[in-house]
Amino acid sequence: MTELSHLPAWRLAELVAAREVSARELATLHLARIARADAALGAFLLVDEAGALGRADRIDAALARGEQPGPLAGVPLALKDIFVTRGIATTVASRILAGWIPPYDGTAVARLYAAGANLLGKLNMDEFAMGSSNENSSVKPCRNPWDLTRVPGGSSGGSAAAVAAGLCAGSLGTDTGGSIRQPAAFCGLVGMKPTYGRVSRYGVVAFASSLDQVGPMTRNVRDAALLLQAIAGHDPHDATSIDAPVPDYRAACERGARGLGGLKIGLPAEYFVDGGGINPEVERAVRAGIARLEDAGATVVPVSLPHTKYAVACYYLVATAEASSNLARYDGVRFGHRAEGTGSLLELYCKSRGEGFGPEVKRRIMLGTFALRSGHYDAYYRKAQQVRALIKRDFDEAFTQVDLIATPATPTAAFRLGEKAADPLAMYLADIFTISCNLAGLPGVSVPCGFTEAGLPIGLQLIAPPLCEEQLFTAAAAHELATDFHTRRPPELA
C-alpha cells in the first residue's frame, strides 16, 4: 500500500475507476502518511480527515452504482491555503484570517470536486503568498523533504513539500512572480503557471490581481496536464477569465513521445550572463536539459530579452502597489481578532494591523502605498507599468523567431532555512528568472532537470506564448521521457 503513495495521479484515478483500489483506501493511506511525517515537514495547516473520508465513501458508492465520478476519481489532493473552501478554514497562513470559514468554494476547488478529486486539507504558504521560502507563514515554517534544513521555496512551499514527500498526489498553487515554478524546482516537481486568465481566480485570496494565476504542482508532466484540464476554462465569475476553448493537454503530453522535430527553442543570453548570480551546478543541469530537448529534435536559437534586467524592480513596484490596494480590506473591523478590553475602532484597527499582518506583508503594503501616493505615482507605479510593457514586447518579438524559450527556473538550488531571512533583496532575487513570465502574462513550466552534488533538485523553465500550454506540455513530456528525475524520491520521513 505504501507504494500507492508514489504512483502518478493518473494511475491512481485508473485504479479507483476500475475498483482495484478504493478511494477510502487511498485517503486512509495518505492521511496516515500525513500523521506520521508532517510534524517534521510542516506542510499542512489543516487536515480535513472526516471530510476526506466522507468524500472517499461517496466516490466508492458512486462507482458501485456504475457511475463515473470523473477523471480524478478518488485522487488525494491538497490545496495551498489561499483557495476558498466551503466549510473549511482558509487563512492564507495569516493571523488576520485565523479561523475564517468561507461559505463557498472557489471555482478551481469546485472544478476539482466535479472531476472526482478528494481534498485532504490545506497547505502551508508564505503569508498572503508574499515570499520565496515559506518562512513567512505566521503558523510555522515548512521544510524541504529532500533536506529538512532547507526551504521548500515559496510562496507555495507547503504544496511543493507535500507532493514531493508523497503526502498527496498533487496540489494547486498560485504563482504571482514564480510561486509555483520556484518551489517546484526546489522540490523536484513539475510546476505549471498557465496563461494569465486561463484559470479562474474566483475564490482565490488576492495578492496582486494582474499577476496572480492558479496552476498545478505534481510529480510528473501528465499529472500536471490532468489537473490543468480539470480547472482551466472560462468562468463568468472572474472578469479576467479568458473565454477560449481548453485544448486536450493529455494528448499534448502524448505528442512528446513522438519528438520535437520542427520546434524552435529560444535561449536568452540575458539569463546566462557571467556574474549573473546563477550557480554553476544549476547552469550545467539546465544546459543539459536543453541538450535533451535538442536530442528530441528541437532547434535551439539565440534570442534577446533586453529589458530582463529591470524585471525585479518592475515586479516589486507593480506587485506591492496592487497588494496595498487588495489588502486594504483587512481593516481590523471586518477581519482580525477583537481583543478583550478593546475600546475604540481606532484601537481595534491598530491592534489588528499590528498583530494580524506579519513583517513581510507589512513591508510590501508600505512599499506599495508609497509607490501609489500622490506625487510618486508617475515616478514609480506608472513607470513600472511602462517597463512592464517593454518586457512583454521583448517576449512578443522573441516569439516571432521561436516557439518556446528555455531558462533556469531558479539561480540556485534550495537554500538553507534562515539563510536569506534577514536580507529581503537577496530573497527577492530568488525569483529573478520567473518574474518576467508573470509581468508578460505568459505560461511557464518548471521541470526537473538534474540534482546538485548534495542531492538537491534543479529545475528547467520553459516559457510559451499566450494560451500555448499545449506546446509546454509536449516539450516537458519529451524532456521527462529522457530522464528519470521525476521518479526519484526524497528520504522517507518518520
Give the residue-averaged pLDDT of 18-36.
98
Residue 336 has pLDDT above 80, yes or no: no
- 194, pLDDT greater than 70: yes
* Residue 192 CA, distance from chain mean position: 7
Q: For all residues of the chain together, what is the average pLDDT?
A: 94
Which strand ranges, in their side-by-side order, compose the sheet holding 404-408? 44-47, 118-123, 76-80, 170-175, 213-218, 190-193, 444-451, 457-463, 404-408, 264-268, 299-303
**Sequence-separated (6 or more) residues with CB below 8 Å from residue 463:** 395, 404, 405, 406, 407, 437, 442, 443, 444
The residue ranking higher by pLDDT, 219 or 426, is 219
pLDDT at residue 339, as a whole number: 39
Q: What is the pLDDT of residue 199?
A: 98
Residue 337 has pLDDT above 60, yes or no: no
> DSSP for 435-457?
HHHHHTT--EEEEEEEE-TTS-E
Distance, CA of 157 to CA of 160 (rounded, Å): 5
pLDDT of residue 330: 86
| Peptide bond between residue 155 and the one before it cis (omega within 30 degrees of 0) | yes
296, pLDDT greater than 80? yes
Four-residue CA torsion sign, 66, 70, 71, 74: negative
Greater model confidence, 494 or 48: 48
140 contacts 158 by C-beta, under 8 angstroms: no
pLDDT above 80: residue 28? yes
Q: 1 pLDDT exceeds 60?
A: no
Cα–Cα distance for residue pair 482/442, rounded to 1 Å: 26
Strand partners, 88: 85
- Answering whether pTM is above 0.75, one says yes
> Could you report the per-residue pLDDT of 117-132, keeping only the tens digit for each?
999 999 999 999 999 9
Q: What per-residue confidence (pLDDT) applies to 333?
A: 58
Cell numbers representing residue 274 in the block: 557571467
pLDDT interval class at 482 (50, 70, 90): very high
Examine the residue annotation and report whether 156 is marked as an active-site residue of this protein. no
The whole-number pLDDT of residue 161 equals 98
Q: Is 155 a catalytic residue?
A: yes
What integer pLDDT is reported at residue 343 of this predicted model?
A: 42
Task: Write phi, then psi, for 345 (nearest 5 degrees).
Answer: -65, -30
Q: What is the pLDDT of residue 422?
A: 86
Q: What is the pLDDT of residue 277?
A: 81
The percent of residues above 70 in pLDDT, for the chain, comes to 94
* pLDDT reading at 79 higher than 80: yes
CA atoms within 13 A on the CB side of 123: 33
Which domains are delineated in the chain?
2-257 (3.90.1300.10)
CA distances from 42 to 17, 274, 389 (A): 32, 37, 39
Q: How many residues does the chain have?
A: 494
What is the Cα–Cα distance from 180 to 80, expressed in whole angstroms? 11
Q: What pLDDT is stored for residue 494 in this prediction?
A: 75
Catalytic residue among 80, 122, 193, 420: 80
Confidence of residue 2 (pLDDT cuts 50, 70, 90): low
SS3 172: strand
pLDDT at 374 over 90: no
**Range scoring the smallest mean pLDDT among 291-305, 325-339, 469-483:** 325-339
Q: What pLDDT is recorded for position 334?
A: 57
Task: Return the CA Rg of the chain.
Answer: 21
Higher pLDDT, 146 or 422: 146
Q: What is the pLDDT of residue 270?
A: 93
CA distances (Å), origin 339, targets 348, 350, 361, 478: 8, 11, 21, 57
Is 132 among the residues known to form the active site? no
76: three-class secondary structure by DSSP: strand
Which is it for the CA torsion 149, 152, 157, 160, positive or negative?
Answer: negative
- Catalytically annotated residue among 94, 132, 137, 155: 155
**Residue 378: its pLDDT value, please?**
87
Please pick, among 22, 179, 241, 446, the residue that the annotation labels catalytic. 179
Q: What is the pLDDT of residues 417-448, one digit of tens each?
A: 999 988 888 898 889 999 999 999 999 999 99
Q: How many CA atoms, within 13 angstroms, populate the side-chain half-sphere of residue 61?
A: 6
